[in-house]
Chain A
Amino acid sequence: MSTIGKVTGIIANLVIVETEGRTAQNEICFIKHGDTRLMAEVIKIFGKKIYVQVFESTRGLKVGQEVEFVGHMLEVTLGPGILSKNFDGLQNDLNKMDGVFLKRGEYTEALDADRKFEFKPLASKGDKVVAGSWLGEVKENWMPHKIMVPFKFEGEYTVKSVIGEGEYLINEPIAVITDTEGKDIEVTMVQKWPVKVPIKAYTEKPRPFKILETGIRVMDTLNPIAEGGTGFIPGPFGSGKTVLQHNLSKNAEADLVIVAACGERANEVVEIFTEFPELDDPRTGRKLMERTTIIANTSNMPVAAREASVYTAMTIAEYYRAMGLKVLLLADSTSRWAQALREMSNRMEELPGPDGFPMDLPAIISNFYSRAGYVYLPNGESGSITFIGTVSPAGGNLKEPVTEATKKAARCFYALSQNRADSKRYPAIDPIDSYSKYLEYPEITEYLNKKVSPNWTKNVFEAKDILLRGKETYEQINILGDDGVPLDYHLKYWKSELIDFAILQQDAFDKVDASSSLDRQNFMLEITLEICHKEFQFDSFEEVGPYFKKIINQLKQMNYSIYESDEFVKNRKLLETYLKEREVKQEEQLA
């Protein structure tokens, strides 16, 4: 028997329901409004009064309307067919909805019940299995999608039968497993899972030890993110958070990418589903959209569903991780989710924490980030979720609750700087303030040195050092004046500019420059540092800037050319010529 209640209060999308029956925290309920049923989630229980946040507009709602509690939390549907879909925050398939406008109370099936998948059994009769064990596999786009023992199943089971190879609908039984009491249970390709509960179908979560290649130099070279790692991108509006995330979703070498557009612009979602079906995945040659899933709860969609959207995205990521895949999860922007929590907490007249955010915000954020990670599965395979969220600090000031709480939870910090964005030094990641804690992991540095080059981390730290010294000398030059400092200061400054222009800056909209392989990054870092090592002698500081600009321009031309192409080689040669010219000149002057 489901619990029934009645609406007794409405404050924007907070609705107070009275019931005598049993309810649970985070339980889902539906408010009957005429012919429609509006979905809501329990967020507080106070005696007979149940506070629910409605995932829809509450216009026209009346006191006395009936509310039906469904007995479970917000759940997502997990099964083949998730990839390439555009879901809303509650996993409704946006493409299945009629009409131009979103209709209140319209909910759709998440997956396609009529789509057949080519099934191949992986388990056989007599196998011992647990939640998350692979029973079979289907091809989803090109991805091997594992059909698993549902995560909700507790304890051990024995496989009684698995259906043979063939095409099946997702709701058809594909296996029968027997529990310890001898009861047979049918398993289909589909299961449900509550979004707020982490899926723990893994045996171990080691410290990340590999890096996730993103193709973005300022990340991979300077502050790499680990596969299974966490990072965040705070930055004032217009500093490049979304462009950076879109670039990550295009170029990172993940098996699949889940994009949670959380409380941001609808046009940015449109960009993904317009462009990705056309763009090639450089590693597989397939279309990018085939490996992408969008969870869209844009800023004009119901506020309460913003919170749900990030959890929905994380749960889908966990589902694919349990198949042994490398998942990249992106959320833009986690601040909007925090604001949604604040709006609710305000309406419930809870005692506010800093800036009106709920007191437990840091705990909520850290719990969420902790769901990412590299894991070993029961069958010895591994999978990962790398999570990168953006943060939109009010007034661009990083000393605000969401940024501070996230800083504690995420291991990479990619601070976007207004100054760099203003002077179009994109991506505007501040090279000094940003960090990757993973560079402190010996297993990561060893991995990098082995994968890229034995000198790699040494070079990286040297580049960081040059950047830092460049910044310091720049400040000195500003205080003392161009001719008030030794000429050496100008050299130091320009060497840091060299690294800034050749390595840090990268044009996300240039088809060649947008992504750079680790090999190429290594090459560029090597030659840039080589130039930095040179002993330059100039007669006056006036000569330094123009010379370095010529060099920088040449390095940029290389960045714009396809790696190792004729054009690239030509530009490289020209660079050598300029460097040689200088050497000859200096020798002449010495003589």
Chain B
Amino acid sequence: MEKDTKAFQRIYTKLFQLTKATVSLKATGIGNEELAIVDGRLAQVVKIIDDMVTLQVFAGTEGIATDAEVIFAGKAPTLKVGEDLAGRFFNAYGEPIDGGEIMGEEREIGGPSVNPVRRKQPSELIATGIAGIDLNNTLVTGQKIPFFADPDQPFNQVMAMVALRAKADKIILGGVGLSNDDYLYFKQVFDNAGALDRIVGFINTTENPPVERLLVPDMALTAAEYFAVEKNEKVLVLLTDLTLYADALSIVSNRMDQIPSKDSMPGSLYSDLARLYEKAVQFPDGGSITIIAVTTLSGGDITHAIPDNTGYITEGQLFLRKDSDIGKVIVDPFRSLSRLKQLVIGKKTRQDHPQVMNAAVRLYADAANAKTKLENGFDLSDYDERSLEFAKAYSEKLLAIDVNIDVDTMLETAYQLFESYFTPAEVGIRQEFVDKYWKKTEN
């Protein structure tokens, strides 16, 4: 890392080209990804061809004149890390927005990746009390998983709830285009729970320039790495909303005349998002980074490039949907998935957990088929009727996000539902589990 000594700062005052997000100028001795101040605004080098340097100006270029002052910092963006971060809120540049300076060691953000062989396989269950998560899509420390939700779903509330119930040493909130109301909501919820001293916030609200958002996840993850690696802490990172992050990426790549790929997103979207999400890790020494993010959808469309690329990167997704039959928001068992659940279910939880969970979802799928029949005006069979009743009860007692019970109770509840509506053969789980847990004497 180069030292940033004021004496070597290079100052230029002749801009060659300006777009909405970038400026270009002639300069020499500049490093790729180096920071600069353009007319008082933070910028970063994104391209160098001979002596022509292109900078991305995070706050946008409105009003910047061709003779604006450009000062190169000689280093990539950094964050000061240390215990001081705890309980504080920062802007996208890592500057405190709640008062005085903080002390700490300066770290480049967006640093190198963890050597895969230095990782440990995640194995610690995160209990949230929400059966749609713990029973069907169990979370594990070191996992990376987003909520997929339409903008009108209460994803921030659910996320705050999950964060507080998870036993994390630190919760790092990366607000990416967060509405000011939601920002205040998070602050208040954490405050009420007496958790503020465990929180670190990096906040870019809708009132801030969109390109600035690109710095927030890296800031949050650099702080997370500090606590997880140096302090061996269990860190939970909340990133909301990464759809707005991807939108900001597309603004920049668009301004740089890159050929857009699907849905006007840059061709590198997969790599760009993977770079963030892959910071989730379980270290052998106990430290971990778990990432829970939000990807807002438009009209529930998960084939759009942003959720699509996200789904290919993350270890599952939690799909929030309003179930009109019960009038509540549920964690949709079809579109949701936790890829790490098999590391803990049936191992850290009861042995029958995987089979019970799969059987319930399969029966719920039967109900969906019955529903289609009904909608097409056909008579329902006795089995159809029973599966529909089951689905409603399942939704109410287990899928709804207001459920708050432990995993054993979730399993008990599932058996109660099975017993009420089905025979063991219809449920189709291993006989030994039926013998052990199925209460009724029939069959």
A557, B429: Cα distance in complex, Å: 8
Rounded to whole Å, the gap between the CB of A20 and the closest CB of chain B is 17
B-chain residues with CB within 8 Å of residue A8 when the two chains form the complex: 49-50
Q: Is B167 an interface residue (CB 8 A)?
A: no
A332, B121: Cα distance in complex, Å: 19
A-chain residues with CB within 8 Å of residue B259 when the two chains form the complex: 346, 352, 356
Interface string of A85-108 (1 = CB under 8 A from B): 010000000110101111110000
Interface string of A382-393 (1 = CB under 8 A from B): 000000000010
Rounded to whole Å, the gap between the CB of A148 and the closest CB of chain B is 29
A-chain residues with CB within 8 Å of residue B79 when the two chains form the complex: none
CB nearest neighbor in A for B333: A422
Q: Is A282 an interface residue (CB 8 A)?
A: no
- Report yes or no: B229 in contact with A100, Cβ–Cβ below 8 A: yes
CB nearest neighbor in B for A299: B274
Q: What total of chain B residues lie within 8 Å of the partner, measured CB to CB?
A: 83
Among the 9-residue stretches A55-63, A131-139, A373-381, A427-435, the one with 4 or more Cβ atoms under 8 Å from chain B is: A55-63
Given known contacts A60-B2, A101-B115, A484-B378, A343 and B267 CB-to-CB distance under 8 angstroms: yes
B-chain residues with CB within 8 Å of residue A396 when the two chains form the complex: 303, 308
A-chain residues with CB within 8 Å of residue B76 when the two chains form the complex: 59-60
B-chain residues with CB within 8 Å of residue A500 when the two chains form the complex: none
Given known contacts A266-B119, A352-B259, A59 and B376 CB-to-CB distance under 8 angstroms: no
Q: Is B17 an interface residue (CB 8 A)?
A: no
Interface string of B371-385 (1 = CB under 8 A from A): 011001111011100
- Report yes or no: B381 in contact with A265, Cβ–Cβ below 8 A: no
A-chain residues with CB within 8 Å of residue B119 when the two chains form the complex: 266-267, 270
A-chain residues with CB within 8 Å of residue B89 when the two chains form the complex: none
Q: Is B283 an interface residue (CB 8 A)?
A: yes
- Report yes or no: B381 in contact with A424, Cβ–Cβ below 8 A: no
Rounded to whole Å, the gap between the CB of A360 and the closest CB of chain B is 16
Given known contacts A423-B362, A478-B373, A545-B383, A61 and B32 CB-to-CB distance under 8 angstroms: yes
Partner of A545, one of B112, B342, B381, B430: B381
Rounded to whole Å, the gap between the CB of A484 and the closest CB of chain B is 7
Q: Is A556 an interface residue (CB 8 A)?
A: yes
Partner of A94, one of B29, B108, B116: B116
Q: Which of B89-129 contact A (CB under 8 A)?
A: 108, 110-122
- Report yes or no: B270 in contact with A339, Cβ–Cβ below 8 A: yes
Rounded to whole Å, the gap between the CB of B2 and the closest CB of chain A is 7
Partner of B376, one of A10, A267, A478: A478
B-chain residues with CB within 8 Å of residue A484 when the two chains form the complex: 378
Q: Is B82 an interface residue (CB 8 A)?
A: no
Partner of A346, one of B29, B47, B267: B267
Given known contacts A102-B112, A102-B114, A549 and B428 CB-to-CB distance under 8 angstroms: yes
A237, B274: Cα distance in complex, Å: 14
Task: Please list 15 pairs of residues, one from A and one from B, whose beta carbons are closer than 8 Å in the complex, sorted by A's number.
Answer: A58-B32, A63-B30, A64-B29, A86-B117, A238-B311, A266-B119, A270-B119, A274-B120, A275-B121, A299-B313, A356-B259, A423-B334, A423-B362, A423-B365, A553-B424
A residues contacting B by CB (< 8 A) are 8-12, 16, 57-64, 86, 94-95, 97, 99-104, 236-238, 263, 265-267, 269-271, 273-275, 296, 298-301, 303, 336, 339, 342-343, 346-347, 352, 355-356, 392, 394-397, 422-424, 478-479, 481-484, 509, 541-542, 545-546, 549-550, 552-553, 556-557, 560
Given A300-B279, A395-B303, 13 extra CB contacts under 8 A: A10-B32, A100-B114, A104-B112, A238-B311, A266-B114, A266-B119, A270-B119, A339-B271, A395-B262, A395-B308, A552-B428, A553-B424, A553-B428
